[in-house]
Amino acid sequence: MARKPKDGEPGAPNPDDIDQFRAAVADVRPLMHPNRVRHALRRPKPVPLQSMRDERQALVDSLSDSIPWDEAMENGEELSYLRDGMVRLTLRKLRGGHWVIQAELDLHGLGSVEARIQLAEFLNRCQKRGQRCVRIIHGKGLRSPNKEPVLKFKVKHWLMQRDEVLAFCQAQPQDGGSGAAIVLLKSSP
């Protein structure tokens, strides 16, 4: 606590000023308190910590680059996926070209990081536009070091992590064959 300056010290009140102040406020009466309104203290807005953790984890999962070793080995079967709860007829219709391809993304020749970002942005745009059937060209891996399709399996893994992806399959030869995937997205709300 600061000490009060004594008379004559710098910052000490002038006795004449004190007398003038008392004379000026001599008729002042304190306000009565009964008419005061007590405002409740505003509570801070709750911070949705669990939602924030879930969103961060979803982002990590959607950008995950790890592929189980058994998925990375090509077994001669075509690329396909059907979300749990979907009927097998959906995948058959997708393979047969039942839906018109409404948009396309060409990833071949890109690095993994750039391809992953472009894929996420593309799927978000398609959802906003209400596009349900899209083609993603990942390439056949003919120019990769071991002539193996690197992006093909990464795209498969990334698509399986996306909630809006209902199904996907290898494209027909006229649509890119083993170098592309046809993807069916949920209808946007």
Domains and CATH numbers, the chain: 79-185 (3.30.1370.110)
Q: What are 8-26's pLDDT values in tens digits? A: 677 777 778 888 888 988 9
Please provide residue 165's backbone torsions phi and psi, each rounded to the nearest 5 degrees: -85, 120
The single residue listed with the structure tokens 């009466």 is 29
**pLDDT higher at 109 or 92:** 92
The mean pLDDT of 75-79, rounded to a whole number, is: 58
The mean pLDDT of 90-115, rounded to a whole number, is: 89
The mean pLDDT of 66-83, rounded to a whole number, is: 56
The mean pLDDT of 97-109, rounded to a whole number, is: 90
Q: What are 111-142's pLDDT values in tens digits? A: 888 999 999 999 999 999 999 999 999 887 66
- Residue 61 to residue 123: CA distance in whole angstroms: 15
- pLDDT for 100 equals 92
pLDDT bracket for residue 35 (50, 70, 90): confident
- pLDDT for 70 equals 38
CA distances from 86 to 65, 83, 125 (A): 26, 6, 23
- pLDDT for 148 equals 67
Beta strands in the chain (DSSP E): 80-82, 103-106, 133-137, 165-170, 180-185
CB of 188 closer than 8 Å to CB of 166: no
Give the distance from CA 177 to its chain's centroid: 31
Please give the DSSP secondary-structure letter assigned to residue 73: S
The single residue listed with the structure tokens 């690329």 is 79
Q: What are 53-66's pLDDT values in tens digits? A: 777 776 666 555 54
- Residue 137 to residue 144: CA distance in whole angstroms: 15
Claim: this prediction has a pTM higher than 0.75: no
